[in-house]
Every structure is written in C-alpha cells, then in structure tokens.
Homo-oligomer: A and B are copies of this chain.
C-alpha cells in the first residue's frame, strides 16, 4: 500500500470493486446497506480521503457560474467586477467559467427580470441583491430550479440562498459611530448621515448601528435626519454642501453609501473653522485620496477581492461537493486610517 491510501486500497480491503467504493463515497444509490458498511469500515480503517485532483480530473463536468452585479458608476462595484475579471484564470484552472451580468439594483422589477433571466443550466449564482419580497421570490425560484445561490455584499436573509458573503453591516455602522465619536474628541455638535438608499438593507443596517452607538456613547452629538443620495456623486456633493452651510456646528459626516468624491469636493469648497470628522465606506480612488489628503478620517471597508474569491470558492465547493474552510470565508470589517492603507 502506498503511503497515502487510494481508492484501490479501500476496494481491496473491502473486497469490492472501485465502482462500488465510488458509489459509497459519493452517496450514489443502489448499494446494499451491508456493502456500504463494509466499504465505510475499510475507509475508516485506512483513514482514506479522496484525492480532489484525481476526482476533478475524472469528472468530465465543467462548472458554470453567473455573477449578477449592479450596473452604473459605483466605484466599489466596478472594483468588484474587476476582481472577478482577474479571477478567470483561477476559475479556468478549476474547470469553471463565469458569466457576469449587470443590472439596476435600485429597481426591483429589473432585478427580478435579471434573476429570472439567469441560465438554469448554471451551477451557481452570486447576486448583489436588494432585500425586497419580489427579489426574495426570484432568488427562491432560482434556487428551486437547482442553481445554488449566494448573496454578495448585500443580503436577503430569509431567502433560500446558500450563504451570505459580506460583512455584518450593523457592526460596521457601530464601528463608524465609535470612530467618529472618538475622533471628534469631545466637541459637541451635529453629525450628518448620508445613505445611498433606505431601501438597501446594508445601508439601513449601518444607519442603525451608527445611531445606536452615537446615542448611547456620545450624547453631546446630535445626528441629523438621514439624507438619501442614491449613491450618486452629485447628490452626495449637494447634500454635503447643504449640511455644511446650514449647520455651523457640524462636527462629523458619516457617508454610508457611495459618492465620496462629491463629499470631498464639498469639503474643499466650503471650508469651516474646524473640519468635520468624516467616516465613509470602501477603498476607492476617491476615498483613498481624501484620506491621504486628510479630508477624511477613516474608511470602513470590505475586501472586494476576498469577496469574489470567496463567492467563487463557495460555489465551486457546492458544485463539486467538496468542503469549505469556514474561517477563510469570513469577510471582515476592515478599518483604514491613513497609516494602514495598503501600499
């Protein structure tokens, strides 16, 4: 017997053929209970584990996955798409291909159409979704048709998705609250809260976490009513300008959604006595530049490269019935200040 036991070793020990061992390992039907037992015992005795390389090679199948991402100009989403693009080499090496579809996330009808339009022959799909009943239903239809679904970045918790790949957004909001609160160093005043849309679950969760922390731990800060920017740069700029103009006691801005370039530009235009503390989300050229320039104070982030790799690994593991290294798939809430920005 070789140093590492093989299928043949198991077959020999159990006194059956290779095909039968294969049936037991892969839980295929038509094996007598008694035979299953014998094979199981032999596997246990030898501490046998299948060789994924050999199994992958022998299985002729190639896998197909679909990634459904938001269209539009959102820099983070563009980054996500780019990371996915650069993952194709790895995917090909693992006998998989991916089709990327872009859809308008802000419009439930279109998103439903896009989900319903996903090829039912696909082995899996990763979807940046809106938490809306119609979307939930569409995801469940897709899943019911045998396509494994993971939600990416923004979750639809009650759907039949296999798993959510993204950060805990309530915790991210709480982190933003603590950083902003502490960085204001005791100054009293108002704080502006900008979001892309109140119909996006991740944005709402961040608002919740933020408000909780500020109310409890920083009573000298008053959070202004939420402003929606639709994740558009111009609207974010307008909102920041208004807020800077109308509230001379503004000590902080938390931008939950996109549009950071607009905020930086508003900050440049309307210089105040003491610059407000600014906390935002995602490493994009605009946000990084503002952090470097000292206009922003902290960036909360999720790693888009990690997210697409995680989605791909999870879908592949599901399709090929192999395991997942749980710890590796946990997406962390990254905190960046000027000093720990990646090179």
* A144 cross-chain contacts in B, Cβ below 8 A: none
Partner of A328, one of B171, B305, B327: B305
The CA-CA distance from A85 to B192 in the complex, in Å, is: 48
Q: How many of A's residues come within 8 Å of B, CB to CB?
A: 52
The CA-CA distance from A300 to B4 in the complex, in Å, is: 41
Cβ B338 vs Cβ A178 within 8 A: yes
A183 in the interface (beta carbon within 8 A): yes
Cβ B335 vs Cβ A93 within 8 A: no
* A90 cross-chain contacts in B, Cβ below 8 A: 325
Min C-beta distance of A3 to chain B, whole Å: 8
Central interface residue in A4, A93, A336, by most chain B CB within 10 Å:
A93
Using A53-B56, A54-B57 as known contacts, say yes or no to A328 and B309 having CB atoms under 8 A apart: yes
Show 6 A/B contacts (Cβ-Cβ < 8 Å), sorted by A: A49-B93, A53-B95, A174-B339, A175-B339, A213-B339, A334-B334
The 6 closest A-B pairs by CB, nearest first: A185-B185, A174-B339, A333-B340, A335-B335, A175-B339, A175-B340
> Which residues from chain A sit less than 8 Å from chain B, CB to CB?
3-4, 49, 51-54, 56-57, 62, 83, 86, 89-90, 92-95, 168, 171-172, 174-175, 177-179, 182-183, 185-186, 209, 213, 300, 305-306, 309, 323, 325, 327-328, 330, 332-340, 342-343
